[in-house]
Amino acid sequence: MSEFWTNRLVALFDEGIAIAVTGIFIFAASKIKIPIFLNKFSLRWKVNGYILVSIFLGLIIFYFTERNLILTSVSVSVFLIFICNLMISSFSAVGIINVFPTTEKGIMPAKSLTMIQTDVDFLGIGGAKLTDHKEEFVNMLKRIKSNAGKARFLLSLPDNQTLESLANKYGRDEKRYQLKVIGSAREITSQCESIGVEYELRFYNLDNRFSLPAFRLMLVDKKLCIFSFLNWTKAEGLDNPQMIVRKSGRKSQSALYKSMLQYFDSLWESDSAIKVSDQRAQNFLVDS
């Protein structure tokens, strides 16, 4: 009996050591957060740094608990879970919920259409990546109508000279992008009118070096934003990094979402934006 209690006390002592040491490491990490000397390095370096710290933690516990692998494993796991949440919180604090190195590895246009239930604000060059997926596009419009929502589409003017320049630059037919904008704009108006969903279509007319917006945006149901920096290459945008941000009740967590919405609205409400009812727009939308 005495041997049982002796072993139990030793086990409790070992557990106390593991809890105390792990607690000290977690407390230090929460106060120091990401070490200052790692701030100038990439996230990968920071993760590797914390992995080394966790290994050091494991060695300490393994030594003081007389090679207790279970306690060592549990302690290191708890520390790593805490660190993962600590690092993720830096992104979620500003509303970032995911990032992808390219759109192809992220949320593709067809998938984004299936996410929309009530409202959509779209900013792009032509919208062909949406209208090319006809079934998903039509179903999206039907869901918006059934939920009494609204769709807003903001596209480039088809006669934007930058479109012709990009086509020539990447060895395309010089009218390729202009015709794609016209085709998708016509498809948008045709499907929206046929379904009877509330919608607006406008063309931006930017007076800058490239006459194109800085971002490709899709604001989903007034709570989520899928965006990428608009860097046009032969991949036609699919190789651009993509970020997903959300709107929440906290001001800081909605900062990026609100910035993207304000950017969209600034182009939408600008004096140079051309409404679909304007004659210049009608010249593109009506078959000649």
Q: What's the total number of domains in the chain?
A: 2
Query: Are 227 and 191 found together in one domain?
Result: yes
Tell me what pLDDT residue 68 has. 79
Query: Are 63 and 181 found together in one domain?
Result: no
pLDDT at residue 75 greater than cutoff 50: yes
Query: Are 32 and 143 found together in one domain?
Result: no
Cβ contact 245:257 at 8 Å = yes
> Mapped to the 3 state alphabet, what secondary structure does 150-190 carry?
EEEEEEECCCCHHHHHHHHHCCCCCCHHHHHHHHHHHHHHH
Q: Which of 92, 123, 148 is the last residue of a domain?
A: 92
Query: Are 135 and 220 found together in one domain?
Result: yes
Query: Are 118 and 143 found together in one domain?
Result: yes
Q: Which of 77, 92, 107 is the last residue of a domain?
A: 92
Share of the chain above pLDDT 90, in %: 23
Select from 65, 205, 191 the least CA-distant residue to 140.
191
State the amino acid at position 70 in one-letter form. Answer: I
What rounded mean pLDDT belongs to the chain?
Answer: 78
Select from 43, 47, 53 the least CA-distant residue to 21.
53
Tell me what pLDDT residue 74 has. 84
Cβ contact 240:197 at 8 Å = no
Tell me what pLDDT residue 253 has. 58
Summarised one tens digit per residue, pLDDT across range 1-47 is 455 444 444 455 566 667 777 777 667 776 665 544 445 556 666 77
Tell me what pLDDT residue 103 has. 81
Kindly state the DSSP code that residue 253 receives in the 8-state scheme: G
Of the listed ranges 164-173, 206-215, 221-230, 271-280, the one predicted with least confidence: 206-215
pLDDT at residue 241 greater than cutoff 80: yes
Maximal C-alpha separation, the chain: 99
- Domain span including residue 84: 2-92
Query: Are 219 and 168 found together in one domain?
Result: yes
d(CA 176, CA 79): 55
Q: Which of 47, 66, 92 is the last residue of a domain?
A: 92
Most confident of 18-27, 37-46, 48-57, 117-126: 117-126
